[in-house]
Amino acid sequence: MLFRTLSLILCASAAVFADQVVLKNGDTLTGTVILKDGAKLTLKSELLGEVSIPWSAVKSLKSDQQLVVVLPGGESVKGKISTNGDNLEVAAKSAPLAGISAIRDEAEQKKWEKLQHPGLGQLWAGNFDLGLALARGNARAETLTNDFNAARVTKHDKIILHFNEIYSTALANGISSTIASAVRGGWAYNRDVSPHLFVTTINEYEHDRFQSLDLRAVFGGGLGWNAVKKEKTAFSFQAGGDYEHESFTTLKRNSAEVNFGDDLLLKVSGATSVTQSFRLYPNLSETGQYRMNFDVTGVTAIKKWLGWHLTFSDRFVSNPLPGRLRNDVLLSTGLRVSFAK
């Protein structure tokens, strides 16, 4: 009996100290206010999790926690909030509810402050993929694939790093040989000009032993257009020009190229996402020749930091060395470890 009474008291206390949102249709929601950004208010409810509420549907609001409120003039004030008619009141100040620019709890405020003047070592997020295949018996074979991707995204620019490798050896009839060896990597820097338009610079490197390619280096830049930029879908186009240097075992060649392509991010579900990148490089120095890069990866999260990936990577060259194939494909699957800083 005593335990049941204490439980009721605790439940009642939790309700008393929760933030409260009353909607224009009469519904009342309790929980913890996390963020008001744009036209949405995010409330974390014990039973429903995070709930996104249209700001236009909010009639009144009351908090039992200290919140940062951005007033219509841009001033930020901190305190417990409540509403009086159509006005929101915080720290002895009052402003029209419809004109409130943003509301943030302590965690969201720290994220916002971090985005204002981040250091070069901050805001990095990325992943490392690892795949390993072994064969034992009449033949011995080992194949290692690894892939690294990282991005630093701020309000106005983005730095992208990537690295991909496959290395495979085999032992058959007492003879050991390397049967695959390729390394691809590079970086890009994008700077926003407007919400949709951005400028980009690229620097790519590639080595492929079985194309007799010691090094391919590409330096270039251009313009990009964000056609779709949403939380679950991002789709952009890019076009520009570059300088390409190729060093083969028996040949060196330099070329001017144009390039164009697209990038896609699609979150299929809460656990699964797909990324795709395509680039076409028509050669201006040797007209009629071209290169093509195509990459696509699907990832399913097992935990927040751990997932399983399937990656397809294709490199096509229209004018390889005599006796070499034009296409090189890497297909890998394995664990993905994600990080964020």
- The pLDDT, as a whole number, for residue 11 is 42
Question: Of 244, 183, 176, 170, nearest to 209 (Cα)?
Answer: 183
- The pLDDT, as a whole number, for residue 3 is 36
Question: Of 94, 102, 91, nearest to 42 (Cα)?
Answer: 102
- Distance between CA atoms of 58 and 81, rounded to whole angstroms? 14
Q: For residue 153, what are the CA distances in angstroms to 115, 182, 227, 284, 306?
A: 9, 29, 18, 33, 21
Burial letters 108-141, b for 16+ CB under 10 A, else e: bbeebeeeeeeeeeebbebbebebeeeeeeeeee
- The pLDDT, as a whole number, for residue 7 is 38
Global pTM reads: 0.74
Residue 252: alpha-carbon gap to chain centroid = 37
CB 330 within 8 A of CB 164: yes
Q: Residue written as tokens 């929101």?
A: 88
- The pLDDT, as a whole number, for residue 17 is 57
**What does CATH list as the number for 126-340?**
2.40.160.40
- Distance between CA atoms of 55 and 332, rounded to whole angstroms? 45
Q: Where are the domains of the chain?
A: 18-116, 126-340
- The pLDDT, as a whole number, for residue 330 is 84
- The pLDDT, as a whole number, for residue 187 is 97
From first to last of its 341 residues, what are the pLDDT tens digits of the chain? Answer: 433 443 343 344 444 458 999 999 999 999 999 999 888 999 998 887 888 899 999 999 999 999 999 999 889 999 999 988 889 999 889 999 889 999 999 999 988 888 888 888 888 999 999 888 787 777 788 888 889 999 999 889 999 999 999 899 988 777 888 878 999 999 999 999 998 999 999 999 999 988 899 999 999 999 999 999 887 899 999 999 999 999 999 899 999 999 999 999 999 988 999 999 999 999 999 999 999 999 999 999 999 899 999 999 999 999 998 888 898 888 888 899 999 87
- Distance between CA atoms of 209 and 206, rounded to whole angstroms? 10
Residue 31: CA count within 13 A, CB half-sphere: 21
- The pLDDT, as a whole number, for residue 221 is 97
How many residues are given for the chain?
341
- The pLDDT, as a whole number, for residue 115 is 82
